[in-house]
Amino acid sequence: MSRNAPADDTLVRIRGLKFYRGTRAIFNGVDIDIPRGSVTAIMGPSGTGKTTLLKLIGGQLAPDAGTIEVDGQSVHALSKPDLYRLRMRMGMLFQTGALLTDLSVFENVAYPLREHTRLNDSMIRKLVLIKLEAVGLRGAHGLMPNELSGGMARRVALARAIALDPMMIMYDEPFTGQDPISMGVLVQLIRRLNDAARITSVVVSHDVAEASEIADLIYVISDGRVIESGSPQALREKGGEWTRQFMGGLPDGPVPFHFPAPELEGDLFGDPA
């Protein structure tokens, strides 16, 4: 599809996605639609390939089969310059923040502006301070990344991700390892940025409560396929047994508490051999 194709309500369209690591199928025929302007959460247990999915959407990995379209462009059919042009309209918040450790907070946020625009220093300064103000860290612009807490580093990375005013932001496990206050700040920031700047947000997470709080739509993936999708409330109320166990954090269910083992009595009182 051309870049000027008419915009529809789906910003990211994934069809028949297959991706293997060696012989292990990470995705085995996944279809996902991410609506424009929404917060869409991709949820599932650890190791189901949620981060891999973001890398596939961003073109850092190539699928073995299937297509991924972002804003009407087939990501993996693009030339490198076109892919880089598309990435300039996509932001990504990495789990670690991925800040450049030899640059200050200010220079990290200024980095994409210096690389991709010809704005003068005065304009860059104003833009950087506005972006840092949006994440509540204008006062920390002179700090180095090693002087930041984990939550602050993610907020700086978020300011950097929105520096070029992207159409979408992908969040890779934004809530992992955060204290309740940092987590609350991030939850609020993701929703607020999404609504204020009309960004499309894709949040990959296994933190059910936080992701459900801000998501308009949830996709639950496991064993290489989409198990269920819908609004948080619908999934909690009408989801299948597996989804309700996952959403409710229940210790036993389709995913058993016990690792498969022989009968307890036999193991305790039977022949040890």
Partner 1 sequence: MEWLAQLGRSGLSFSAGLGRANLLMLAMLRGVPQLLRRPRLLVEQLLSVGVLTVLIIAVSGTFVGMVLALQGYYILSRFGAEATLGVMVAASLVRELGPVVTALLFAGRAGSALSAEIGLMKATEQLSGLEMMAVNPEHRVLTPRLIAGIISMPLLAGMFSVLGVYGGWFVGVGLLGVDEGTYWAQMQSQIDWDADVLNGVIKSVVFGVVCTWIAIFQGYDCIPTSEGVSRATTRTVVHSSLAVLGLDFVLTALMFN
Q: Which residues bind partner 1 (CB under 8 A)?
A: 55, 58, 60, 84-85, 87-88, 90-92, 94-96, 98-101, 111-112, 115-116, 157, 160
| Among candidate residues 153, 208, 204, the one with its CA nearest the CA of residue 182 | 153
Least spacing, CB of residue 19 vs partner 1, in Å: 17
| Among candidate residues 3, 176, 18, the one with its CA nearest the CA of residue 77 | 3
* Chain centre distance of CA 121: 32
Q: Report the residue number, 61 or 140, with the smaller CB distance to partner 1.
A: 61
Least spacing, CB of residue 132 vs partner 1, in Å: 17
Q: Over 62-121, what HEC string results?
A: CCCEEEEEECCEEHHHCCHHHHHHHHCCEEEECCCCCCCCCCCHHHHHHHHHHHHCCCCH
Q: Report the residue number, 55 or 236, with the smaller CB distance to partner 1.
A: 55
Cα–Cα distance measured from residue 150 to residue 165, given in angstroms and rounded to the nearest whole number: 24
Q: Report the residue number, 102 or 265, with the smaller CB distance to partner 1.
A: 102
Least spacing, CB of residue 162 vs partner 1, in Å: 12
In the three-class reduction of DSSP (H, G, I as helix; E, B as strand; rest coil), residue 167 is classed as: coil
Q: Report the residue number, 156 or 189, with the smaller CB distance to partner 1.
A: 156
Least spacing, CB of residue 43 vs partner 1, in Å: 21
Least spacing, CB of residue 87 vs partner 1, in Å: 4
Q: Report the residue number, 102 or 271, with the smaller CB distance to partner 1.
A: 102
Stated length of the chain:
273
